[in-house]
A and B are shown apart, each in its own frame.
Chain A
Amino acid sequence: MTVTVYVPRDAAALSVGAEEVAVAITREAAKRGEQIRLVRNGSRGLLWLEPLVEVATSAGRIAYGPVTPEDIPGLFDAELLRGGAHALHLGPTEEIPYLKRQERLTFARVGVTDPISTADYEAHGGWRGLRNALALSGAEIVEAMVQSGLRGRGGAAFPAGIKWRTVLNTAGEIKYVVCNADEGDSGTFSDRMIMEGDPFVLIEGMTISAIAVGAKSGYVYLRSEYPDAERTFEAAISAAQRAGYLGDDILGSGRAFHLELRRGAGAYICGEETAMLESLEGKRGMVRFKPPLPAIEGLFGKPTVINNVITFASVPIILDKGAKYYADYGMGRSRGTLPFQLAGNIKHGGLVEKAFGITLRELLYDYGGGSASGRPIRAVQVGGPLGAYLPESQFDTPLDYEAFAAIGGMVGHGGVVVFDDTVDMAQMARYAMEFCAIESCGKCTPCRIGSTRGVEVIDRMRQGERREANIELLRDLCETMLHGSLCALGGMTPFPVRSALEHFPEDFGVPRKAAKAA
């Protein structure tokens, strides 16, 4: 009997040897005359257990991990193909507490299906949202999106339905749907996991958006640092075209939607939506002034829906199960779920999709299991390089857009980067300024010059030069950048800097009292 074995093709799994494990399994099975069907799935997101191998048995899928090629003969001896006992045996995958306690809506299929099989996607609930959408008017789709409460998952958290409505109501023969897959924030990888693990959910979400607003073509702007995602997503586009989910006549509806992948070129600023549009137009990624909003004058001057990968990937379930189903998750004005990413110095790093409202402490300890080093967690950066550094006293804050804004932080794209007590927060503040200097597009002065001056001021403080005066100067500089920058890069770099100074002044050689007073 042929046994199905799953070995992820996710880049994180590949980075720790999944390819070698897949080769070793194939070789060992052939040697022993065992019939196997090897499926290269996405990752379940339990990244500390990668490479995670699963075997389909009569008792469901059984997990083993982390597996090395050297483990394979022993695993076969232990009846791997029948789910046999072994030191790496983790039991039924779905029963692993880390996974079992999640609320996987957007990530429902990631790690479960063969990412580039349209049939497997359909067998697991795919394309239902699209079929429903094809029977609705654009206004009805937009209304469902508004009712779902889905807000942009890229960081800015603008209500997706409102944005779509603007594009729908803007007259124009040509409109575009653009997906921002320039996932440049350190500590984030959920976009990548979707594109490698369930690319059709993104294709379906973008197609629904196109049908809603009346667009016939779309682009996915993918960062060049993700070559594995590029390969998988290109394969998915081709498969969707062949099966009639993309092209001139989607599912016989007479509606057309063409999707194209464009590769970025290593510029962080192209994650800013207007810089991304410039880049897609074949120009340098310089931030545009707003207004006009991209929804009115976007790509090539046409009305354009721009959403991030996770936003689009959350659309199919809303059109499938209804706006209320989605909106019933979450708290306050943060509806639905967010795929959080536990990263950095964390014992159990990975992807945790939960409804908004979970606290940072639950994520860090109940899921993350504390730091990887075993030392106390001292600081956590939520929301990428432009997010605030949070001390232990703020770990009980619920992950909710408004609650985080209230403490000067941001949920952003849901990335959580953990640092233990060996971290030098003055160095992290310096890095924030340095990163801004490296990645600034150069259009506005506070960002272009301010970031370089910020590095210099922090260097002087660290050398002990006129510390109190330099604190004041740094705060003043942060104010200027905050209010005077054109986009979030210059405008939000002050968040990590100021939070580091406020919560960890001793790292700058400043007594707590002096830092507060300045």
Chain B
Amino acid sequence: MKGEAMTGGSSHSAHDEVAAEEAIALHAARPGGLLPLLHAIQDRLGYVPPWVLPRVAEALNISRAEVHGMVTFYHDFRTSPAGRHVVKLCRAEACQSMGADALARHAENRLRTQFHHTSADGITLEPVYCLGDCACSPAMMIDGRLYGRVTPERFDHLLKSMEKP
């Protein structure tokens, strides 16, 4: 199933279908509901698959281009699934002042991948511009959980503990 989803084709599971329809039903009628709707789809499916765009457009009575524009404008929305884990490393000024650039290079080497990509063992590395933890820099987020004072050693440690069952 995952393989099918990765291709971005129109085939998808019945479960995903129900989840998407549920999200549309919940938010379509709310004022300015498109943003919460897309969040709801991504929260449920892990990304915003191409096959939902025409359905969303129809439900909100807007063009498919407008929905596509939303998905591509906002950095949060993915058009393909992320890896098993998502690591977001802060690249903004406060973290830079505490060695975030060196940490970023370390992360790329360690994961053998680059920002905006997923490592061979399924860890997606993304830049983020401020997590609001600027007095405990450098900061990063793993699967929505915030970590501060991240040294390369702590990065390795957190990565290892993430892999424990």
Contacts and interface: CB of A to CB of B under 8 A. Distances in A.
Interface of A: 11-12, 14-16, 47-48, 50, 183-189, 192, 224-228, 262-268, 279-285, 300, 341-346, 349-350, 372, 381, 385, 415, 417-420, 423, 428, 431, 435, 438-439, 441
A15 B35 contact: no
Contacts of B37: 282
A14 B146 contact: yes
B129 A12 contact: no
Given A184-B130, A227-B146, A349-B135, 9 more contacts: A12-B133, A12-B146, A186-B95, A225-B132, A263-B35, A265-B74, A341-B134, A423-B97, A435-B92
Interface string B109-136: 0000000000000000000111111111
A415 B134 contact: yes
A266 B74 contact: yes
Contacts of A285: 73-74
The 5 closest A-B CB pairs, nearest first, are A349-B135, A282-B34, A186-B92, A343-B134, A265-B74
B135 A186 contact: no
A51 to B, nearest CB: 11
Contacts of B73: 267, 284-285, 441
Contacts of A344: 93-95, 97-98, 134, 137
A281 B31 CA distance: 7
A284 B70 contact: yes
B148 interface: yes
B135 A47 contact: yes
Interface string B64-106: 0010011001111100000000000010111111100000000
B77 A431 contact: no
Given A12-B133, A48-B135, A263-B39, A343 B94 contact: yes
Interface string B143-154: 011111100000
18 contacts: A12-B133, A14-B145, A16-B136, A16-B149, A186-B93, A189-B133, A225-B131, A262-B36, A265-B35, A281-B31, A282-B34, A284-B74, A300-B31, A344-B97, A344-B134, A418-B97, A428-B93, A431-B96
Contacts of B74: 264-267, 284-285
Given A265-B39, A267-B75, A284-B70, A187 B93 contact: yes
Contact of A186 (B66, B69, B134): B134
Given A417-B97, A418-B97, A423-B97, A224 B133 contact: no
Contacts of A282: 31-35, 37, 60, 70
B139 interface: yes
Nearest to A280: B32
A187 B94 contact: yes
A220 to B, nearest CB: 13
A262 B36 CA distance: 7
A50 B136 contact: yes
* Most A-side CB within 10 Å, residue of B37, B70, B98, B128: B98
Contacts of A268: 129
A265 B38 contact: yes
A219 B136 CA distance: 30
Given A14-B146, A225-B131, A266-B75, A417 B94 contact: yes
A343 B60 CA distance: 43
Given A263-B36, A350-B135, A435 B70 contact: no
Nearest to A191: B132
A15 B146 contact: yes
B87 to A, nearest CB: 14
A443 to B, nearest CB: 11
A467 B111 CA distance: 38
A185 B35 contact: no
A327 B121 CA distance: 58
Interface residues of B, number: 44
Interface in B23-45: 31-39
A263 B97 CA distance: 29
B2 to A, nearest CB: 24
B136 A385 contact: no
Nearest to B130: A186
Contacts of B144: 227
B160 to A, nearest CB: 16
Contacts of A187: 92-94, 130, 134
A417 B137 CA distance: 11
Contact of A11 (B98, B130, B133): B133
B146 A346 contact: no
A385 B96 CA distance: 12
B75 A11 contact: no
A264 B75 CA distance: 10
Contacts of B136: 12, 15-16, 47, 50, 349
Nearest to B27: A282
Contact of B134 (A48, A300, A349): A349
A152 to B, nearest CB: 20
Nearest to A434: B91
A267 B75 CA distance: 6
A279 B35 contact: yes
Nearest to B74: A265
Contacts of A188: 130, 132, 134
Contact of A283 (B70, B92, B135, B149): B70
A318 to B, nearest CB: 26
B70 A11 contact: no
Contacts of B137: 343-345
Contacts of B60: 282
B133 to A, nearest CB: 5
A343 B96 contact: no
B110 to A, nearest CB: 20
A439 B128 CA distance: 11
Contact of A189 (B36, B96, B97, B132): B132
Contact of A225 (B97, B128, B135): B128
A12 B66 CA distance: 37
A189 B135 contact: yes
Contacts of B147: 15-16
